[in-house]
Amino acid sequence: MPLRPALDKWEVYRGTSDAQQFSDLDQINTENVHLLKPAWIFHTGDNTERSPMECNPIVIGDMMYVTSASLNLIALDATTGEQIWRFEAEDKISGVNRGVTYFEDGIGGRIFFSVGYYLYAINARTGEVIRNFGDQGRIDMRKNLGRKPEDISVTLTSPAAIFEDLILIGSATGEGYDASPGHIRAYSAHSGAMEWIFHTLPEEDQSGYETWDWIEGENYGGVNNWGGLSVDLEKGWVFAALGSPVYDFYGANRKGANLYGNSILALDARTGEKQWHYQTVKHDIWDYDLPSAPTLIELTIDGAIEKALAQPTKTGELILLHRYTGLPISDPKEVPVPLSNVPGEEAFPTQATNQGILVVRQGFDSSQVTDISSESTEFVKREIKKYRNEGMYTPPSLEGTLTMPATRGGMLWGGLSYDRHNNMIYVNANEIPMILQMKKVEEVVEEEGISGYAIYMSNCSSCHGSNKEGQKDSYPSLDNLQARLNDSAIHAVIQKGKGLMPAFAQFDEQQIDALLNFLKDSSSSHLPPSISPPKKMDRYVLNGYRIFTDQNGFPASRPPWGTLNAVDLSTRTVKWSVPLGFYPELKKKGIPDTGTQNFGGCVATAGGLVFMGGSADEMFRAFDAGTGDVLWEYKLSAGGYAVPSIYQVNGKQFVVIAAGGGNRLGTPTGDAFYAFSLPE
């Protein structure tokens, strides 16, 4: 493999190993993009309710590799969209999958592809399992994490990275109190043997251990790399952006700064030895995970070209660091932040500000209140008085705290696009407020039984609400669940997941039965009468992921609610920012494009274009990279909540995007991949 994959190919997730998410192809450009038409549309034909389809396809030669909502791996002819082969794993565990990894093994190549907690090696030409890899063709990612594998639930939402003959992986670990640890590991790409591990939850003899107030008997998990890895092939370093420790919104059992939570890490790709770290948020209680791999860039600093990296954040800052030291290029300031009023919690007393380039608004006050109608303005002004609101880093509270940007960004897992030719970064973002309200849980600890209520509150309530009410357009209500699903179906969803819901494969039969009984119980008593009064430990959970809205369900903040942004790295300022998407019902009332909440990411090209789907209006657009003007748009059959890929076969340029839609934004699901090209 060359030190740097060519930018006119798309052989790696997000385009290149350094996550630049940019294409040097210019056959499609600002002059002719209005002629763009579908070259082919491929329907996977499987169950679109299983998982969100967020795959960023890769193209090797004339073959494209994609994943479906049911987590099938499919090889397509990249010029026609015709299926060549399909691999379907025996263990059908649902989960998010954003793509696959190609490794050139000298005998036809292999695809590394994850389903649930297994990482498979598949022959790239035939679709057959490579049986001499791992255990009969797969690695069980629950192993080698320092705990019993059956007590662990991990998946791989973003593809593995490759360095030389090593597979480098992070993991998605879950976000409940019993979440698994998120250590980073390397395996032999030939045999599947584990080569090294870096403990993101520090061991006792590891630096960072002293930043935790460890409590014997408590579970410590998270601090995981779920957004992918970037690799400096020449230096031989791998860069990881890590998530928060769990529980995401309450940390009484993990007081301290909590390294390496919310940190950017540089590791020696051959050994796993840490080179440096930079922590963006200390003792995270806002779910401010670092959502994507850092992008490796170059900057001119004091007249000299510097190797650097750019890290998108949910807080809306684009953090710039010196690549080989981890030192910030800006001048961050530690400032006091509000204290927590939730019993037991000790919010960290300071946080860093001015860590980089601010892309979106931070904090929610009266100047940010929606102006789409006088009724909405007055409604929000009344509602805002109910909540705690002391600016950025106001801790979650029992009365509810307003926060913006929130857990849904700012910037998310779609990453950014870096154009080295014009020294620009393009990135999409959200600007919507959320309510972080905590609720006390009576954590049951007893010998004679297990509380389904405690299991639910610790693992399920953040999404489905403390009263099983769900969230409009995102997470279904679980009220009267037994009228819709029988015990067997509920059991299967808990163990194997569905849609955005991860699999809870670590629950044993007794725990599942207790949870199932609670889900079916409409009474106020959650403990079986045969169980003696339990001892209780105070714990708190989030009372659902709640967007702060007006009376009609639109975000309470002043539009735009979703944006596409161009950041000039020469001046380190936002050159332009445009609304991304619209709501038809508002447009009918004469309200201009407001932007919508968006997922996925953008790709810029040497043709002067930025391609972006992601918005709730289900449009796929090409923007002028210089101005932000929309030059072309196409209505997909479902939302394109993915990163598009740009590639060329036989001299013809294509743009492809997954149209999976789904309940992230409450839009219909889909099973299509759309490839666009210019007419002959």
DSSP designation for 410: S
In the predicted model, what is the mean pLDDT of residues 127-146?
97
pLDDT digits (tens, 9 = 90+) for 225-284: 999 999 999 999 999 999 999 999 999 999 999 999 999 999 999 999 999 999 999 999
Phi-psi group of 149: left, alpha or beta (phi > 0 → left; psi -120 to 50 → alpha; rest → beta) = alpha
Residue type, 505: A
The per-residue pLDDT for 439 is 93
Q: How far apart are CA 416 and CA 97, in angstroms?
A: 19
The per-residue pLDDT for 52 is 83
The per-residue pLDDT for 174 is 85
Tell me what percent of the residues of the chain surpass a pLDDT of 70.
88
For residue 384, the surrounding DSSP H or E stretch is helix 374-384
Q: Has residue 295 got a pLDDT over 60?
A: yes
Which strands, in side-by-side order, build the sheet including 652-662?
37-43, 667-677, 652-662, 645-649
Whose structure tokens read 């339990």?
A: 534
Task: Give this prediction's pTM.
Answer: 0.90
In the predicted model, what is the mean pLDDT of residues 154-174?
96
Lowest mean pLDDT of 476-490, 541-555, 606-620, name the range. Answer: 476-490
Q: Has residue 163 got a pLDDT over 60?
A: yes
Q: Has residue 538 got a pLDDT over 90?
A: no
Residue 169 phi/psi, 5° resolution?
Answer: -135, 150
Residue type, 550: D
For residue 459, the surrounding DSSP H or E stretch is helix 452-459
The per-residue pLDDT for 464 is 74
Q: Are 112 and 118 in contact (CB under 8 A)?
A: no
Q: Has residue 527 got a pLDDT over 50?
A: no
Cis peptide before 247 (omega within 30 of 0): yes
The per-residue pLDDT for 460 is 74
Kindly report the number of other CB atoms within 10 A of residue 217's CB atom.
Answer: 6
Q: Has residue 203 got a pLDDT over 90?
A: yes
For residue 307, the surrounding DSSP H or E stretch is strand 304-312
Kindly report the number of other CB atoms within 10 A of residue 176's CB atom.
Answer: 24
As beta bridge partners, residue 351 has 335
pLDDT digits (tens, 9 = 90+) for 102-118: 999 999 999 999 999 99
pLDDT digits (tens, 9 = 90+) for 409-433: 999 999 999 999 999 999 999 999 9
In the predicted model, what is the mean pLDDT of residues 85-114?
92
Q: What angle do CA 379, 380, 382 make, to 5 degrees?
A: 70
Q: Are 200 and 229 in contact (CB under 8 A)?
A: no
Burial letters for 616-655: b for 16+ Cβ neighbours within 10 Å, e otherwise? bbbbbbbbbbeebebbbebebbbbbbbbbbbbbbeeebbb
Q: Has residue 484 got a pLDDT over 90?
A: no
The per-residue pLDDT for 524 is 39
Domains of the chain: 438-543 (1.10.760.10)
The per-residue pLDDT for 95 is 80
Q: Which two structure tokens, joined as six digits, stand for 582?
A: 């619209």
Average pLDDT, the chain: 90
pLDDT digits (tens, 9 = 90+) for 181-195: 999 999 999 999 999
pLDDT digits (tens, 9 = 90+) for 361-394: 999 988 999 999 999 999 999 999 999 999 999 9
Q: Which two structure tokens, joined as six digits, stand for 441?
A: 């849980």
Q: In this predicted model, which residue has the larger pLDDT, 645 or 664?
A: 645
Q: How confident is the model at residue 457 (pLDDT cuts 50, 70, 90)?
A: low
Instruction: Find, among 640, 608, 606, the residue nearest to 621 by Cα.
Output: 640
Q: Has residue 352 got a pLDDT over 80?
A: yes
Helices (H), 460-549: 461-464, 487-496, 509-520
Q: Has residue 42 got a pLDDT over 50?
A: yes
